[in-house]
Amino acid sequence: MEPELNVLGGPLELCGIDPVTGFYRDGHCTCGPAEARHLICVVVTTDFLAHQRSVGNDLSSAMPAYGFPGLQPGERWCVMLERWLQSYSAGRAAPVVLAATNRRVLEVVPLEILQQFAVDVPDDLSSLG
């Protein structure tokens, strides 16, 4: 099995371990079964949480049965691609950690859009292709 890559072409970095994120709760943004695409590493904002709650996806409340702690603004979390796009379309997208965002996202979202929300822009922009 090949290692997962990030949207910049490098190794997929950890998104978060406090709280531990990812479909498999291993800290990485990867796909789970049945297209559970927890691929985008974001820094959760109050606005993003409020928007997700307004569309029926409450990310603030804990759900222990699923190993979900509930999120607070400022925490990093792997969100489902479709949920990030939903917030993006509403003008309420969360900031993106490119080095921890799975390359598979590029099948749907152009890198240029992700870069607009990046919070980990490297000093040497030539590496972004």
Q: Is the pLDDT score of 125 beyond 60?
A: no
How confident is the model at residue 59, as a pLDDT? Answer: 94
Handedness of CA 104, 107, 108, 114 (dihedral sign): positive
Residue 50 β-bridge partners:
none
| pLDDT of res. 118 | 96
The closest alpha carbon to 44, from 111, 122, 117, belongs to 117
Amino acid 129: pLDDT: 45
> Which pLDDT score, from 0 to 100, does residue 124 have?
57
Q: Decide if 65 is inside a domain.
A: yes
In terms of residue numbers, what domain contains 51?
Answer: 1-121
Tell whether 129 is covered by a domain.
no
Total-model pTM: 0.88
- The Cα 2–Cα 108 span in angstroms is 21
pLDDT tens by residue, 1-58: 678 999 999 999 999 998 888 888 899 999 877 777 899 999 999 999 999 999 999 9
Looking at the structure of the chain, the number of domains it has is 1
pLDDT reported for residue 42: 97
Distance CA(116)–CA(94), nearest Å, equals 11
